[in-house]
Amino acid sequence: MTLTVRSHREAAALKDGLLLIDGRWRPAESGATWTHHHPATAEAIGEFPVAGAADVDAAVRAARRAFDEGTWPHVRAGERVRVLRAVADLLRDNADELRGLQALDNGVPLSFGGVYAGSVDVAADTFEHHAGWVDKAGGETLPPYQGGDHLAMTLREPVGVVAAVLPWNAPFLLFAQKLAPALAAGCTVVLKPSEYASFSVLRMVELLQEAGIPDGVVNVVTGPGDPTGEALITHAQVDKVSFTGSRDVGRRIVRASADTMKRVSLELGGKSPAVVFPDSDVALAGMTTMGMVTLGLSGQACVAHSRALVHRDVYDEFLGAAQMIADSVTYGDPFDASVQSSPLINARQLERVLGYISAGTDQGARLVTGGNRPDGELAAGNFVRPALFADVDNSMAIAQEEIFGPVLSVVPFSDEDEAVRLANDTEYGLGAGLYTNDARRAFRMAKRLRAGTVGINGFQVEPHLPFGGYKQSGLGREGGRSSFEAYTELKTVLLPLSDEVI
Ligand code: NAD
């Protein structure tokens, strides 16, 4: 029997996608479309317009008008709070439908909705969190430094037109992490979902409209990086690009920002280490770390701890626990509640992951389990069984490069200094995990690791916690006050209080 998900699309009576420009849904001017194939079945599952330069220009101009002439940047705080809270309520009310759309988009199973970072709840909570900043966007009043008497104050103002570019792997979290602070700050937005996850994002945009976001404040252009993404990130009237995705595209955005000095926020990839000490619950560490690269997203998560640095004394115990998870993870129909993990997003990513698995073996690492493709009804999908590599040297490709798939590379270490050296020996710096029950060691190590988030015996992404990367994992933070402020400019206003010249 061959797996199929098309019936879910038919049952949901889904229409193909459209662009949203100035409050009106319409096809691309050229009529060009992108056909998305479902990663679990290879079925053609959706058609979306490919926005070309003219469509992107129309969307940016609509956002520009809504910013320069519209009400949203200046509307009273209470109104913006009301709309953002309404978005949160609508997301929660439509959570089941959204989870189904995500399964149609990227093959992520419904069960992943039970994990907070993969849930619709995290998106709703993020809108609520940022609604809380709207009426706290104050500045400071500062005394004169020298010269005459004057009043100096700072004001926080919205940064302008934001181009928000999303990846495909966690649409609920990532949509909210960009849209909620941008809208709370009073910006207008042109949003580009990933070509591999447009159904769920387009539905969330409809909910924004339902909540009362004025026309032109949020515009959507669908399509791939070329031409749609390129036209957006290079548009002269975009003030800020907020991007989550791969390091290569991040670099391209930084280069393209130079001409008009766009503000840039980047959330990029990682090669995050989990560091496991003998004084921890080693079995839990093994299961959690392997779970991070297999359950839910099949390792297609930027924060996945895809390198385990394990003390030699507990190396075998760790491998045993990790193998138990690797061998038991279930794959298949994303709509089946018992399915725990997903296929890789597309054929290119499947080839890439299989290439890294071959490279691991070729370079001398020991493949403990997995790394092959399932057959039978799963043969048409982009499935790979979780690969567990032992005896990995930290210089190998499987320990240095972001694989974005179900591959865990286990590297042995002997003491804290060696663990720190290995953990920091990477171009990335997104996250890190520490497994130890010695509190002083935990904090000592946490201070020495060059990573944006360090989890001690656990890891969580939450709306109020700054999240982002050191080194080549990104620029800036998403979550909490700092991400709200990243959508603002700081203005200084001076007022002399006497006739004295200041
Ligand atoms: P990707 O970089 O291929 O694509 C991301 C988005 O950029 C898509 O919408 C794509 O269409 C667009 N794009 C591609 N080329 C472009 C161009 N030249 N100009 C403008 N836009 C362009 O990444 P992906 O495969 O969708 O996602 C996987 C990557 O995202 C991984 O590297 C992962 O680590 C990273 N990621 C990071 C975080 C984080 O928070 N740090 C979260 C999720 C994913």
Within this chain, do residues 422 and 438 fall inside the same structural domain, yes or no? yes
Within this chain, do residues 81 and 217 fall inside the same structural domain, yes or no? yes
* Model confidence at 121: pLDDT above 90: yes
Is residue 1 in a domain? no
Q: What is the per-residue DSSP string for 230-278?
A: HHHHT-TT--EEEEES-HHHHHHHHHHHTTTT-EEEEE-----EEEE-T
Is residue 90 in a domain? yes
Q: Whose structure tokens read 């959570």?
A: 95
| Domain of residue 264, residue span | 6-268
- Ligand 1 atom nearest to CA at 170: 43
Kindly report the three-state secondary structure assignment for every residue of 314-344. HHHHHHHHHHHHHHHCCCCCCCCCCCCCCCC
What is the token pair recorded at 28? 């691309």
Is residue 479 in a domain? no
Mean pLDDT of 423-437: 98
Pocket probe mutation, ligand 1, options 249, 407, 460, max atoms within 8 Å of Cβ: 249
Within this chain, do residues 373 and 302 fall inside the same structural domain, yes or no? yes
For residues 118 and 173, the answer to whether their CB atoms sit within 8 Å is yes
Q: Tell which of 234, 268, 302 closes a domain.
A: 268
Is residue 50 in a domain? yes
Please report the pLDDT score of residue 501 as a whole number: 67
Is residue 498 in a domain? no
Within this chain, do residues 255 and 291 fall inside the same structural domain, yes or no? no
Q: In which band, very low, low, confident or very high, does the pLDDT at 502 lie, cut at 50, 70 and 90?
A: low
Q: How far apart are the first and last CA of the chain?
A: 82
Within this chain, do residues 250 and 277 fall inside the same structural domain, yes or no? no
Q: Tell which of 248, 268, 288 closes a domain.
A: 268
Q: Tell which of 268, 298, 333 closes a domain.
A: 268
Within this chain, do residues 237 and 163 fall inside the same structural domain, yes or no? yes
| Ligand 1 geometric centre to CA of 194 (Å) | 8
User: pLDDT per residue over 315-328, tens digit each?
Assistant: 999 999 999 999 99
Is residue 316 in a domain? yes
Higher pLDDT, 149 or 222: 222
> Which of 136-145, 258-267, 356-365, 428-437 has the weakest average pLDDT?
136-145
CA–CA distance, 107 with 168 (Å, rounded to integer): 10
Within this chain, do residues 90 and 236 fall inside the same structural domain, yes or no? yes
| Integer CA distances (angstroms), 85 to 79, 80, 411, in order | 10, 9, 46
Pocket probe mutation, ligand 1, options 257, 302, 351, 472, max atoms within 8 Å of Cβ: 302
Within this chain, do residues 62 and 201 fall inside the same structural domain, yes or no? yes
Q: What is the per-residue DSSP string for 199-223?
A: HHHHHHHHHHHHHTPPTTTEEE--S
Within this chain, do residues 291 and 238 fall inside the same structural domain, yes or no? no
CA–CA distance, 407 with 316 (Å, rounded to integer): 18
Is residue 458 in a domain? yes
For residues 67 and 188, the answer to whether their CB atoms sit within 8 Å is yes
Cis bond before residue 181 (omega within 30° of 0):
no
Is residue 481 in a domain? no
* Model confidence at 13: pLDDT above 90: no
Of all residues in the chain, what percent carry a pLDDT higher than 90?
A: 94
Q: 49 pairs with which residues across the strands?
A: 33
| Active site (catalytic) residues | 267
Q: What is the CATH number of the domain that holds 315?
A: 3.40.309.10
Within this chain, do residues 96 and 18 fall inside the same structural domain, yes or no? yes
Nearest to 200 by CA among 378, 8, 40, 340: 8
What is the token pair recorded at 122? 């995290």
Q: What is the CATH number of the domain that holds 210?
A: 3.40.605.10
Protein residues with CB under 6 Å of any ligand 1 atom = 165-170, 192, 194-195, 224-226, 229-230, 233, 244-246, 249, 252, 267-270, 302, 402, 404, 430, 474
Within this chain, do residues 300 and 448 fall inside the same structural domain, yes or no? yes
Total tally of structural domains belonging to the chain: 2
- Ligand 1 atom nearest to CA at 468: 41
Within this chain, do residues 179 and 37 fall inside the same structural domain, yes or no? yes
What is the token pair recorded at 127? 């809108």
Give φ, ψ of 412 to 5 degrees: -80, 150
The residue nearest atom 10 of ligand 1, judged by CA position, is 225
